[in-house]
Amino acid sequence: MTTEAKPGPRERLLEAAATLTYQDGVGIGVEALCKAAGVSKRSLYQLFESKDELVAASLKEGAPAYVAGLLPPADDGRSPRDRILHVFEQVEAQGRAPGFHGCRYLSVQIELKDQRHPASRVARRIKRNLLTFFRTEAERGGARDPELLARQLILVFDGASARAGIGVENLKGLITPTVVTLLDAADVR
């Protein structure tokens, strides 16, 4: 018989921050975070310099799972075009899931406004990495202007994610044809 180790206070705080900030926004109070994690405020401040640092750490820790659920595996043999389309297929699928509130990294940037905020810096880095993925695949696919196409794709990604996240748009039949039009116009193979 094996027993699983119960997550410690740090892990519980990170999970609570990830869950509550995604559901309710980064304005969630310290009391609510501590209650959800089952820890005291003292523990929070012993483990993290501030609530802002906790939120940033939670975003950073969640980034690998976010990327794995969105991007195709490296060198998976698909064409650059298909690798880009894969990302948007994932967004469409995620947009149908209950509890989907859009891209957590975009939401944080919109809500915080302050680009110097630790969580905003983490979110901006993750979004910049997605832009780099689009640019790299556009270059590999022979796009006439990879930088422009990458910026257009991130605009579609953010817009689709935000609209699905607030429940005003069903992405089925909308996002893929939009992306295909951009890829065709850029001559991406």
pLDDT in tens, the chain (189 residues): 556 778 999 999 999 999 999 999 999 999 999 999 999 999 999 999 999 999 999 999 999 999 999 999 998 999 999 999 999 999 999 999 999 999 999 999 999 989 999 999 999 999 999 999 999 999 999 999 999 999 999 999 999 999 999 988 888 899 999 999 999 999 999
Report d(CA 153, CA 134) in Å as an integer: 7
**Domain spanning 51-185, CATH architecture:** Orthogonal Bundle (1.10)
Give the model's pLDDT for residue 34. Answer: 98
Which pLDDT belongs to residue 1? Answer: 56
Domains of the chain by residue range: 51-185
pTM over 0.85: yes
Which of 165, 162, 157 is CA-nearest to residue 70?
157
**b/e sequence 85-107, b meaning 16+ C-beta within 10 Å:** bbbbbebbebbeeeebbbbbbbb
